[in-house]
Structure 1
Amino acid sequence: MTFGGQGPHPTWQPNGGQPPPPHPYMPPPYVPPPYRPPATSLWQRFREDEWPPLREVMRRIPLPGCVWVAILFCVWPALFLFICYPLARSARKKARRVFPANAHRRIQDPDVMRVQKFRAWIALAASFAILVAYGTEADWSEVQDQALFRLAVTPWLLLLTAPVVIAVLFRLAPAHARAGMRARVRPAVRLALRYFGAFTAVPILFAGVMFLSQALPDGALSTLLSFALLLPVLWVLFFVAFASSTVVRGAFNTAEIHAALPALLTGVLVWELAAINLATAGMPPGPPLLQICAVIGGPASVSAVARWEVVRLRRRYGVTLR
């Protein structure tokens, strides 16, 4: 029975209008904890596109503050490191933005990447075993020189090899596909011009800094000024060093022109580097049969993996050369 439009249940509350107290055995309401992202190690942070800040690196390394102060003020290479790390972090961030690390393959195949890494580790282990068994002190120093030589020569060799391989691909491609491939050549050319512009800027900037340093009068102020002028040169050098790994693997992002182009360039480039190493450094140490296997085995294995990648692209993804 209702009166004045009210429902059958009273709307007033006992205890002076207050809600009833909770039951003493009623559990409290569940409040979910705040979301916390999973903790990553310092090594994982260094593998990302952006390195952690210097403050976070110092906090992750288990050293008390007094030890950091002693390192900072008593060991001058540490002071140089504290200055170079922010420059390297900034240059690496810019290099990864201009030359993305994951853009060297249009089709990302995890099996191909796994086989390439396995082949690289096997080749590194074989080279190390040959040096340990038959190498001398001169051979170890020569390996270091050859590594720096490859780092300096490979981008220029790639610049000369890529147009030849691209021209062969244009010749093999049908006429209706050449217009689209020609339009995708321009971004790769712009990327190559950016890299080689930065590459050639390093010696030019360094020569300019040396010329200005000689023109300044001797003194502490001129030394500090010369060091300050070297910082931009150091930043460009870091930028080129971090960009070189992506440029060599991605071949200036030529996968946008043709998905099989990085594999073809790798197969050609590895034989050119083997011939240059043989002409400049000679045969590796060891017995004659082992020397021949070491010279031919590395390029042959790389070419085999590149051919397998091209066949896999044709069978699984429909990428053909013609």
Structure 2
Amino acid sequence: MTHYFYGEDTYFTTANTLRSHTGEEKQAYLLGCQGPDPFESLQLAPRLHEYKRLGLKLQTDQIEECLANFKGSLAYLSDHERPTGRAYVAGYIAHFELDSRVDPFIGAWQQQLCDAGIEGLDERDARVVKAEVERDLDEMVLYTKTGKTVDSFHPVQCLEASDRIFSIVNRMYRYMLLKTYNEVTPHNLFSGAINAHRTMMRMMRSPHVTDLQSELASAFEINILHRRHSLYRAMAHRARKEATSEFDNSKHEVWINPYTGSIDEASFWDLFYETQGEVQTDLNCFLSQDFNAEKAKLITHGLDFDGKPTQESKKDEDTEAEPEKVAAE
């Protein structure tokens, strides 16, 4: 939901940059704002299950090439389809911008809580802790932006799209995945991922801790799967009427980026709004005629979706440092 409302905030500026304001293009943009996340739900799609690994690949591997090949895919759309395809990629870039800045913030909370010496909580519970933090922030964003909770706003609303949008974006992914990873994929892979993600959202809808669905899922995880904590309960949004979160860092306390070691004091809302100014710059870069994987580094800054420096950027740093090392010797 946070990505959806981030897209709502940034759409007006994006539409002006793209010079298009149709309802279909806005819908494509908001869908793009979900980034590659829906691919993580392909485990729920029996016929597409084998492609679930692409979710992690898209998040961490050859991101600049993905963006360059998304741009290349636009050439194979009709003139009437191209604005919608371009709007989708604009949203995808907006997802990257928010993810790469906020994920280190969430990672800092995850590390801090796992290392806090709380009984029954350590690094083995990192996934559940991360889910708790993200869920709490999601609830805060929803209530702040709409005054609603998941009692009246179903997260699946963030995944609305027409069959025409699916047709366009399916083809774009097929081209991009082939060119980037040499992966030949089904023609309906993207729409299949969205449908699986919708199913996941419906399964995870349990606004109240006492809901039978929540209690059964939690009991199954702990008693049958022998998990220390319920991931379902950590992920399922609560009907929480609060415009704050324990994890919003509104007091601007110091936190350490777990991936770079840099020190920061930014709050969640600082990161949420500061990154919005970058989206237009990113789009201008993407829309330039000479856009390619190398130029895409101006968008990624050598980071993946988690905000971690990629292996390629580390190699570049090592290459740049080599002449200095030789000079010193």
Q: TM-score range by the shorter chain?
A: under 0.3
Q: With the length of structure 2 as denominator, give the TM-score of the two structures.
A: 0.26
Structure having the higher Rg? 1
Q: With the length of structure 1 as denominator, give the TM-score of the two structures.
A: 0.26
More helix by share: 1
